[in-house]
Amino acid sequence: MITSNEKLPLKVLLVEDEQKIAEFVCSGLQQRGFVVEHCQNGHRGLELAERGGHDLIVLDIMLPGRDGLSILKALRSRHIMTPVILLTARTELGDRLAGLELGADDYLAKPFFVEELAARLHALRRRALGTSHDVMQFGKLCLDLVSRELRHGQQTVELTAREFTLLEYLMRSAGQVFTRSQILEHVWGYDFDPTTNVVDVCIKRIRAKLASLAGGQDLSAHIESVRGIGYRFQP
């Protein structure tokens, strides 16, 4: 399976003038596999952010040269949409709100644990991928995670929300068999009557859509019924 936009390691720009915080963030993130570029001055921070090449930006608010909020404002006004997490002091509630209004994606109040920063960065990255052009591809068959369309070459078919969630679930672990109750729980999100046939009905509709693609080739065979157990996606 190829998922586009999966770039590792994640590159982070850290703009922070407090030496101690900068050191602990740099080493903490590096230990967790991030690549960190650090600068201490606001003007330099904006320059580096504009030059690009970062997946994420960690931005302090009080900085020499130019403050974090004005850097954020400048970036967003120039349509640079790299996800930004603001570092704020506990007392800077007004700044925090202003930051979110200016287009910050998240904020973290000092002091914080680097584990939490790393987790927030991963979450932001996932969110950013969700809004970019992300696809799952198996040969010519392609599931567009943004438009929720299923494509085969030039042909396209739209999926309903449930069909999309179910197919994505199977595709993410292609080859693995999922029981009806696993699928129910993932796609419908709560306990259904175990005798319900919503899963089978939904699978049937996805198969029909697969079959409607690609002319003579029967793509519906990608979804296999495993007797007595459930279903799997076979690439």
Q: Does 62 bind Ca ion (CB under 5 A)?
A: yes
| Residues 183-212, interacting with Ca ion (CB under 5 A) | none
Cβ atoms of 188 and 198 closer than 8 Å: yes
Q: Which listed range, 9-17, 121-129, 147-155, 187-195, lies at the site for Ca ion (CB under 5 A)?
A: 9-17
d(CA 134, CA 44): 32
Residue closer to Ca ion by CB (options 62, 211) is 62
Cis preceding-peptide flag for 111 (omega within 30 of 0): yes
Q: Which listed range, 3-11, 54-62, 128-136, 174-182, lies at the site for Ca ion (CB under 5 A)?
A: 54-62
Least Å distance, CB 85 to Ca ion, is 15
Q: Which amino acid is at 49?
A: A
d(CA 169, CA 179): 12
Q: Does 128 bind Ca ion (CB under 5 A)?
A: no
Reduced to 3 states (helix: H, G, I; strand: E, B; else coil), residue 14 is: strand
Q: Does 177 bind Ca ion (CB under 5 A)?
A: no
Cβ atoms of 69 and 101 closer than 8 Å: no
The residue sitting closest to Ca ion, measured at its beta carbon, is 62
Q: Does 17 bind Ca ion (CB under 5 A)?
A: yes
Selected binder of Ca ion within 12, 58, 60, 96 (CB under 5 A):
60
The DSSP string of 176-195 is: --EEHHHHIIIII-SPPPTT
Q: Whose CA is closest to 198, among 181, 210, 211?
A: 181
Least Å distance, CB 63 to Ca ion, is 6
Q: Which listed range, 52-60, 77-85, 156-164, 198-206, lies at the site for Ca ion (CB under 5 A)?
A: 52-60
Q: Which listed range, 17-25, 118-126, 206-214, 220-228, lies at the site for Ca ion (CB under 5 A)?
A: 17-25
Least Å distance, CB 88 to Ca ion, is 10
Residue closer to Ca ion by CB (options 12, 210) is 12
Residue closer to Ca ion by CB (options 40, 212) is 40
Q: Which listed range, 60-68, 98-106, 166-174, 211-219, lies at the site for Ca ion (CB under 5 A)?
A: 60-68
Q: Whose CA is closest to 88, among 79, 100, 77, 80?
A: 100
Which letter, b or e, does each residue of 178-192 get, where b requires 16 or more Cβ atoms within 10 Å of its Cβ? bebeebbeebbeeee
Least Å distance, CB 77 to Ca ion, is 23
Q: Does 67 bind Ca ion (CB under 5 A)?
A: no
Phi, psi of 177 (to 5 degrees): -90, 135
User: Which residues of this chain interact with Ca ion, rule CB under 5 A?
Assistant: 17, 60, 62
